């Protein structure tokens, strides 16, 4: 496929051929024995990926926003209080969803690109009595990586259920629900999980399932109600079938292949690979003289990079020029800085070769825009990282 562009946006990403071929296999019924086995195994592997031994996995047809929606719908009753640790666009979105289900929402919202000060979060938790707190692990609009471990510890201390939007992190960034005390985490198939768009993956801790049982009012969404899906997930894990809504059969087969690959690689090795890839991208970007949206390396995601345009270069010129050089990148998303930066996704099956192709295309694009820089500096910086 000579005219094919390399897809390096923060989801969907480039997918492994074995995953795509599972997706393209003839569709079975959702009661077929091989589907029951694949779905059961995918649920077990989802629990392992999220590192939540007693957690209840849900794999639902829908996007990452369904993950957000189903977490909020099941945990919130009208009048409940929620704290949103807000590091960008997706913090705003989960705040809106929480409000839709009747929650009173407080945001801790640092400056764009900053990480919230832990003391500010603690003070807010101490002053309010929050039923739950949400954290966006990687906010895809800023590339800020939240310190979920420390934030979740604060949430626990003040008895809030801890909900993590892991759409741009799970299977790329370290996330250990059990060790860190996370009650609900969710992601979407098209990101580091490595499956085309269409599945939401969520794991709920025993405390989150108890909160569901303790509700006084019905869940405000029919499709998103865990009570409807729980018997289905339990049945498939027990290698039986059950029906509520038709499972996305082909996507589930593909998911099971991808989860198998992820666990085969090993979570620790996988997180370390994402760190290495990210360091190479960021070293390359810095060597070209470009800044980044996150205000410091320690709070920058490893699944994506959000470089700022250099003076005199606009996204309208640069992104098409990079595309012409063979790589598709994404523009800005955060309303306040939309035209000041662009986004590179580097997660899942991403390789060193993909990183070098991307940096090469960025250099070619920058040159086409008339930006003055030392040609090859970005590539050389990345090679130095890979060469150790
Ligand atoms: N949360 C985060 C952090 C995301 O990056 C995204 C998607 N970019 C979503 C939620 C929503 O996912 P989807 O687009 O699949 O609905």
Q: What is the pLDDT of residue 4?
A: 82
Q: What is the DSSP string of 275-335?
A: HHHHHHHHHHHHHTT--BSSSSGGGB-SSEE-BBPPTT--HHHHHHHHHHTTEE-B---SG
For the segment 115-139, the average pLDDT, to the nearest whole number, is 97
Same domain for 153 and 299?
A: no
Q: How far is the CA of 333 from the centre of ligand 1 (A)?
A: 12
Q: What is the pLDDT of residue 2?
A: 63
Nearest atom, ligand 1, residue 190 CA:
15
265, 290, 316 - which closes a domain: 265
Same domain for 161 and 43?
A: yes
Taking only the tens place, the pLDDT of each residue in 357-367 is 999 999 999 99
- CATH code at position 195: 3.40.640.10
The residue whose C-alpha atom lies closest to atom 14 belonging to ligand 1 is 64
Same domain for 93 and 232?
A: yes
Give the structural domain span for 359: 6-11+267-387
Q: Between the CA of residue 369 and those of 311, 326, 354, what are the distances in Å?
A: 11, 16, 22
What is the SS3 assignment for 144?
strand
Q: How far is the CA of 97 from the centre of ligand 1 (A)?
A: 13
Taking only the tens place, the pLDDT of each residue in 68-102 is 999 999 999 999 999 999 999 999 999 999 999 99
Taking only the tens place, the pLDDT of each residue in 159-177 is 999 999 999 999 999 999 9
Contact between 260 and 45 under an 8 Å Cβ cutoff? The reply is yes
Q: How far is the CA of 166 from the centre of ligand 1 (A)?
A: 9
For the segment 288-314, the average pLDDT, to the nearest whole number, is 98
**DSSP β-ladder status, 304-305 and 344-345:** antiparallel
Q: Please check whether residue 160 lies inside any domain of the structure.
A: yes
- CATH code at position 297: 3.90.1150.10
Residue 3 has pLDDT above 90, yes or no: no
Cβ-based burial of 175 (10 A; exposed 0-12, middle 13-18, buried ≥19): buried
Same domain for 274 and 179?
A: no
Residue 1 has pLDDT above 90, yes or no: no
Pocket of ligand 1 (CB under 6 A): 11, 63-65, 68, 90, 136, 139-140, 165, 167-168, 188
List strand residue ranges (DSSP E) for the chain, in order.
6-7, 56-61, 81-85, 104-108, 132-136, 138-139, 144-145, 161-165, 184-188, 199-204, 304-305, 327-328, 344-345
Q: What is the pLDDT of residue 125?
A: 98
Domain count, the chain: 2
Taking only the tens place, the pLDDT of each residue in 178-219 is 999 999 999 999 999 999 999 999 999 999 999 999 999 999
Q: State the Cα–Cα distance between residues 358 and 118, nearest whole angstrom.
A: 35
Q: Please check whether residue 52 lies inside any domain of the structure.
A: yes
Question: What are the phi and psi torsion angles at 304 (to 5°)?
Answer: -155, 165
Q: Between the CA of residue 211 and those of 207, 216, 224, 278, what are the distances in Å?
A: 6, 10, 15, 38
Q: Please check whether residue 117 lies inside any domain of the structure.
A: yes
Peptide bond into 12 cis (omega under 30): yes
Same domain for 212 and 159?
A: yes
What percentage of the chain carries pLDDT values higher than 90? 99
Q: Please check whether residue 203 lies inside any domain of the structure.
A: yes
Same domain for 195 and 326?
A: no
**Mean pLDDT across the chain, nearest whole number?**
98
Q: Please check whether residue 1 lies inside any domain of the structure.
A: no
Q: How far is the CA of 81 from the centre of ligand 1 (A)?
A: 23
Q: Please check whether residue 197 lies inside any domain of the structure.
A: yes
Q: Please check whether residue 140 lies inside any domain of the structure.
A: yes
Question: What are the phi and psi torsion angles at 203 (to 5°)?
Answer: -125, 130
Same domain for 96 and 215?
A: yes
**DSSP β-ladder status, 199-204 and 184-188:** antiparallel
Same domain for 130 and 277?
A: no
Same domain for 302 and 254?
A: no
Same domain for 247 and 382?
A: no
Contacts of 344 (CB under 8 A, 6+ apart): 8, 9, 10, 281, 304, 305, 306, 307, 329, 330, 358
Same domain for 29 and 120?
A: yes
Same domain for 112 and 170?
A: yes
233, 265, 297 - which closes a domain: 265
The residue whose C-alpha atom lies closest to atom 4 belonging to ligand 1 is 167
Q: How far is the CA of 343 from the centre of ligand 1 (A)?
A: 14
Name which residue leads in pLDDT, 67 or 1.
67
Residue 277 has pLDDT above 70, yes or no: yes
Beta bridge partners of 162: 133
Taking only the tens place, the pLDDT of each residue in 214-239 is 999 999 999 999 999 999 999 999 99
Contact between 188 and 67 under an 8 Å Cβ cutoff? The reply is yes
Q: Which two tokens stand for residue 111?
A: 């400056």
Q: Please check whether residue 153 lies inside any domain of the structure.
A: yes
For the segment 329-351, the average pLDDT, to the nearest whole number, is 98
235, 265, 295 - which closes a domain: 265
Q: What is the pLDDT of residue 349?
A: 96
């Amino acid at each position: 496929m000579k005219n094919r562009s390399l897809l390096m946006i923060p989801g969907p990403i480039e997918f492994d051929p074995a995953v795509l071929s599972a997706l393209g296999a003839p569709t079975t019924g959702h009661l077929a024995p091989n589907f029951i086995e694949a779905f059961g195994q995918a649920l077990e592997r989802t629990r392992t990926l999220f590192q939540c031994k007693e957690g209840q996995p849900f794999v639902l047809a829908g996007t990452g926003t369904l993950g957000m929606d189903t977490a909020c719908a099941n945990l919130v009753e009208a009048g409940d209080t929620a704290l949103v640790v807000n590091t960008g666009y997706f913090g705003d979105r989960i705040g809106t969803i929480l409000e839709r289900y009747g929650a009173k929402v407080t945001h801790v919202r640092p400056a764009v690109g900053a990480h919230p000060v832990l003391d500010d979060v603690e003070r807010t938790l101490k002053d309010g009595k929050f039923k739950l707190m949400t954290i966006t692990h990687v906010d895809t609009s800023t590339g800020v990586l939240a310190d979920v471990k420390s934030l979740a510890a604060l949430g626990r201390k003040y008895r809030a259920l801890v909900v993590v939007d892991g759409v741009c992190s799970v299977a790329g960034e370290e996330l250990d629900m059990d060790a860190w005390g996370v009650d609900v985490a969710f992601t979407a198939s098209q990101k580091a999980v490595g499956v085309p768009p269409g599945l939401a993956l969520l794991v709920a801790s025993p405390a989150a399932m108890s909160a569901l049982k303790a509700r006084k009012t019905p869940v405000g969404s029919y499709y998103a109600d865990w009570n409807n899906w729980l018997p289905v997930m339990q049945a498939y894990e027990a290698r039986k079938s059950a029906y509520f809504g038709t499972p996305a059969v082909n996507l589930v087969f593909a998911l099971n292949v991808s989860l198998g690959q992820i666990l085969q690689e090993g979570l620790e090795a996988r997180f370390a690979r994402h760190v290495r890839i990210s360091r190479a991208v960021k070293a390359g970007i810095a060597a070209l003289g470009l800044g980044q949206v996150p205000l410091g390396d320690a709070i920058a995601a490893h699944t994506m990079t959000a470089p700022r345009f250099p003076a005199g270069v606009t996204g309208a010129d640069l992104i098409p020029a990079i595309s012409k050089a063979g790589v598709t990148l994404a523009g800005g998303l955060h309303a306040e800085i939309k035209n000041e930066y662009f986004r590179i996704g580097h997660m899942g099956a991403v390789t060193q070769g993909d990183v070098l192709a991307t940096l090469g295309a960025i250099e070619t694009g920058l040159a086409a825009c008339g930006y003055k820089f030392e040609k090859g500096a970005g590539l050389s910086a990345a090679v130095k990282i890979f060469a150790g």
